[in-house]
Amino acid sequence: MLDRMVEEVTRGSIHALLPDAVQEQIRALPLEAVRVGASNVMTRPQPGDVSQAGRLLLNPCLAVQWLATFEMLDLPRALRVYEPCAGASEPVLLATQVYSRGAGSYTTLNLNRPLAAQLKAKIAKLTIPVTVIEEDASSAAVLPPNSVDVACFHHAVNDILQTAVSEPRGMDTRTVDWRPNEQQMIEWLAEDTAANRLGERAKPALLQAVSNAVDAVKSGGYLLFDHWTWEAHRETHWFPWELFCNLIPLAREWILASGLPVTEVPLPGRDPQWWMCLRAEKQP
């Protein structure tokens, strides 16, 4: 996977979709620096620089992981993808474009307007139809039933939980500048975790978002979840380290106990601490 990742982000199909300025920055890196950066992306928790400059290789490398996951599951080439909470993150979009060879389609519920604008600026080279719906992933379902092949919760569990605990405290997550305010969201999530209050708002919000995704995915289709956190956050006093290292196991526990018609499917080479694959088992 490491060799493929380096190839894809430096000269391959993922590289070709990146904005020109990003391509130039990556080409300027020594090959060994790319290998180290790609290796860091595959490590959980992720070591390395957490600044935006240090994240240059992050999303292109994550796109390769998602592309390989689509291949592993042998998804339809004319892939119909739903991604709740994409924010400004483009890995699933890039993977969809490459995997489908331009024949796929992509829909996201993207609540935060500033992040949605950033996302659009990153995907100018994509040719697949992209639909961005300004809505909360935990609100009422907006996609038609059985209309997509896969729902991709890419680093989305924390976003859903953070939104759920922040809105009632007065934060307008639709218009707020996300990154400068994310620490406050995470601190509120940590407060609710410490007080055993996740069941009040956070858990229902996640289960509603997953239920909506199950409805949208065709029977036999998949729901995919991934997460990561940065090693540099381990000793940060306000950061709920244990929670963020266990978001996928927590989501798994909630979902599998919910009665939703899904079955977990192992993903070879993916650590279940940080990845989860569910197959929709709906009755016709």
Give 145-186 pLDDT, tens digit per residue.
Answer: 999 999 999 999 999 999 999 999 999 888 888 888 999 999
Q: What is the pLDDT of residue 119?
A: 85
Q: What is the pLDDT of residue 112?
A: 76
Torsions phi, psi of 116, nearest 5? -60, -40
Q: Which amino acid is at 136?
A: D
Sites in the chain below the pLDDT cut of 50: 53
Q: What is the pLDDT of residue 161?
A: 97
Q: Where are the domains of the chain?
A: 75-280
Report the 10 Å Cβ neighbour count for 2. 13
Q: What is the pLDDT of residue 134?
A: 80
Q: What is the pLDDT of residue 282?
A: 81
Q: What is the pLDDT of residue 19?
A: 94
Q: What is the pLDDT of residue 262?
A: 98
CA dihedral 178, 179, 181, 184 (to 10 degrees): 120
The verdict on whether omega for the bond into residue 45 sits within 30 degrees of 0, i.e. cis, is: yes
Torsions phi, psi of 92, nearest 5? -65, -40
Cα→Cα distances 89→55, 153, 228, Å = 12, 11, 14
> Whole-angstrom Cα distance, residue 84 to residue 80?
13
Distance between terminal CA atoms of the chain? 38
Q: What is the pLDDT of residue 220?
A: 96
Q: Which amino acid is at 48?
A: G
CATH architecture of residue range(s) 75-280 = 3-Layer(aba) Sandwich (3.40)
